[in-house]
Amino acid sequence: MAHELYHIVLLMAAGINFLIAFVLLYNNIWYRNYGVYCRARMLAALCYVIFAIGFAMHAYFEWRTSWPAAASALSVSYFHIGGVLFGWSHTSLMRPDYLKKKVVLRDLTILLVGLASYWTAVANYSLFVFHFSFIIFFAHASYIAFIFYRTYFLVRRNLVSMPADEMAPKWWTPEAKRTVLSGHHSFVISCHLIVLFGLGGIVVTAVFPHHITPYTVLLCMGIAVYCYIFYSLSEYGNVIDAATYATEDAEKL
């Protein structure tokens, strides 16, 4: 029964992620005049597709019960890719000039080294390489989270300090200010959830490599995380005019 439930939840998570990715891409044409937000939605959609493919592979190969090392490598792989894509998409929404060529090259280089290490450890049954690869993942994920949080607090400080009297831009009403700050706050909650879910997922798969019940529970929690991230990103689109102007003006302070 536990194995059947695990398989069903995997397929359900994959299906939901594919559906969310489709909705993000399908509705993206409405925001074609907002380049940064458009790109963020595409990166988020790619992240959902990567996770969906990972869950589908778990369901098809059933490595969790037959080859735990490969299952763990697969999990770390899509969590690492997802962390990079989240950093690119959501940090850019608060700091439009963030995603420069050097940032992309840095993250891709570390990501490729990490992916190669995960699967080299599995292929060679090397415990040393496996531990080294986990260090790469945790270090890179922690750095991406640090950059995101630092950006959030800097931008929030600048937004709060923007004038709210007759000197303020016409579009920067108290309501717009509250809405934009609320949107950025929802990104922080998303980052909290991703950090907790990502790191927690890797810990669970490492501590219980042969068990599927903990991973089934984790997947159910993950579905809620994916839906919340989609909700927060969609809600941000409802105030994209004020958010775009506010973020650009906040950078000038």
- The reported pLDDT for the residue numbered 232 is 92
Taking the CA atoms of residue 178, residue 23, residue 54 and residue 203 in that order, the dihedral angle to the nearest 10 degrees is: 20
Tokens at residue 17, please?
């992620």
- The reported pLDDT for the residue numbered 218 is 86
CA distances to 13, 203, 219 from 215, rounded to whole Å, are: 12, 11, 6
Tokens at residue 151, please?
């950006």
Q: Are 225 and 196 a contacting pair, CB within 8 Å?
A: no
- The reported pLDDT for the residue numbered 195 is 84
CA-based nearest residue to 31, from 246, 237, 184, 171: 237
Other CB atoms closer than 10 Å to residue 118's CB: what's the count?
Answer: 26
Q: Are 239 and 179 a contacting pair, CB within 8 Å?
A: yes
For residue 203, what is the enclosing H or E element?
Answer: helix 174-207
Can you point out the beta strands (E) in the chain? none
Q: Are 76 and 111 a contacting pair, CB within 8 Å?
A: no
What Rg do the C-alpha atoms of the chain give, in angstroms? 20
- CA atoms 106, 127, 203, 224: torsion sign: positive
CA distances to 2, 85, 225 from 90, rounded to whole Å, are: 36, 8, 15
- The reported pLDDT for the residue numbered 69 is 85
Residues in the chain where the model's pLDDT stays below 50: none
Q: Residue for token digits 């595409």?
A: 42
User: Domains in the chain and their CATH numbers?
Assistant: 2-250 (1.20.1070)
- The reported pLDDT for the residue numbered 163 is 63
Q: Residue for token digits 């922690």?
A: 142
Q: Are 113 and 56 a contacting pair, CB within 8 Å?
A: no
CA distance 236 to 222: 21
- The reported pLDDT for the residue numbered 64 is 85
pTM check: above 0.85: yes
- The reported pLDDT for the residue numbered 164 is 58
CA-based nearest residue to 91, from 46, 153, 34, 32: 153
CA distance 208 to 212: 8
